[in-house]
Amino acid sequence: MNENLITLASLPYSKAEILRSLLESEGINCFLEQVDFLQDAMDTGVRIRIMEKDARMAFPILERMLGKVTFDQSKGENYVLIPIDFSAYSLKAAIIGFDIAEKLGSKMVLYHSSPRPEFLTIPYSDVIVYDSAIFLNYELTEKVTNQKFEEFLNKLTGLIDNTRWKKARPEYIVKVGEADDDILSYIQAHPPKMIVMGIRGEDAQAGDLIGTTTAGVIFNAKVPVLAIPEKTPDNWLQNFKTVVYATNFEAHDFIALDKLLKLVKPFECKVICLHVNQGNNGELDEAMLEGMREALCEKYPYAAFDCRLVHSNKLTEAIDGFIQENQIDVLALTTHRRNLLTRFFNPSISRKLVLHTQTPILVFHE
């Protein structure tokens, strides 16, 4: 049984060669196999195969290469990361993520994590007993994952012009592990310009408005995350014109707006700073909003700005109503306003809203 081969991961060729050198330096034999889900559709992927007896030593090496280490976050890489789980939500995110990467002149990387094999959770002992059923299950999981990946790519390429797809030549990464932990580790090592992902996925329960993986990435990623609802139009980016940023007149808002403006500058869209007055001094809020408008227009003369005030005791409902009435394309929030984010994703509140049905949410760290 120990001489059977298992797949450690499927990676772009350049990363596969790096991993092979790391494995061989630790005395682990490995073999590279070509993977061609769609001929000429993307950069040729490579499957890294190892002996099953070496799995315990090999997986930590893979983890260290793809993440689990500290890198300089200021040195971002020119790519858009799109985590996928083969659901309708991730297909929608992949379509829109492709358009965004093309607009930014960036590479697109599709990232999928399969469930971690059980043999990695078996404690070390003097004698390791190999359960053939565990490895057969792993091989079946690999086969099913490859089949789903191919079906997903067939759907995706069927919705994108073939010439554009071939020119973009996206890359993909398929590995085992916990999806949110793997994504966060990977972006720590390789910070992208942006993460684009479905607001839900296969992990979401019936009453959830946001999947656990998406929530984990949104609240912990150090790069901007664009969460895409399933009902967002495929041509969303073509009609992308307006972003609303919810402000509470805090000092960090100007820092957050600076990051937001740099992020959306290539899209030439309008940014609206929205404040909801919840029964406080309305005249003071108007004065502060006017001061914010003047400061922003002076500092960013190239950008299109507006500042708006809404009076309501119901914060989330007021923001959602403004989005609907003004045909807003993106709601921008920072993780600093965690309470507001949490309230939007609270089913007791959000089931009264229609925001989650079609409006993407852009979340970034201040």
Residue 152 covered by a domain: yes
**CB 315, CB 277: distance < 8 Å:** no
Q: How far is residue 166's CA from residue 268's CA, in Å, rounded to a whole number?
A: 27
Q: What is the pLDDT of residues 105-146, one digit of tens each?
A: 999 999 998 876 555 444 444 444 445 555 555 666 778 888
Residue 325 covered by a domain: yes
Give the chain's residues under pLDDT 50.
1, 40-42, 69-73, 120-130, 206, 347-354, 356
Residue 60 covered by a domain: no
Residues 82 and 199 in one domain: yes
Cβ partners under 8 Å of residue 221, min gap 6: 183, 184, 187, 195, 365
Residues 220 and 81 in one domain: yes
Residue 47 covered by a domain: no
Residues 269 and 183 in one domain: no
* pLDDT value of position 281: 75
Residues 179 and 307 in one domain: no
- Picking from 228, 254, 279, the residue at the C-terminal end of a domain is 228
Residues 184 and 279 in one domain: no
Residues 213 and 245 in one domain: no
In CATH, what number is assigned to the domain containing residue 244? 3.40.50.620
Q: Domain residues for 303?
A: 240-364
CA angle 163, 359, 197 (to 5 degrees): 55
Residues 221 and 332 in one domain: no
C-alpha dist (Å) from residue 333 to 193, 200, 201: 17, 18, 21
* pLDDT value of position 151: 92
Residues 77 and 223 in one domain: yes
Residues 124 and 173 in one domain: yes
* pLDDT value of position 305: 86
Residue 310 covered by a domain: yes
* pLDDT value of position 339: 60
Q: How far is residue 291's CA from residue 272's CA, in Å, rounded to a whole number?
A: 14
* pLDDT value of position 330: 93
- Picking from 205, 228, 251, the residue at the C-terminal end of a domain is 228
User: How many structural domains comprise the chain?
Assistant: 2
* pLDDT value of position 348: 46
* pLDDT value of position 356: 46
Residue 3 covered by a domain: no
**CB 282, CB 312: distance < 8 Å:** no
Residues 148 and 81 in one domain: yes
- Picking from 194, 228, 262, the residue at the C-terminal end of a domain is 228
Residue 20 covered by a domain: no
Residue 309 covered by a domain: yes
List the end-to-end C-alpha distance of the chain, in Å, as a whole number.
52
**CB 204, CB 212: distance < 8 Å:** yes
Residues 81 and 137 in one domain: yes
Residues 257 and 309 in one domain: yes
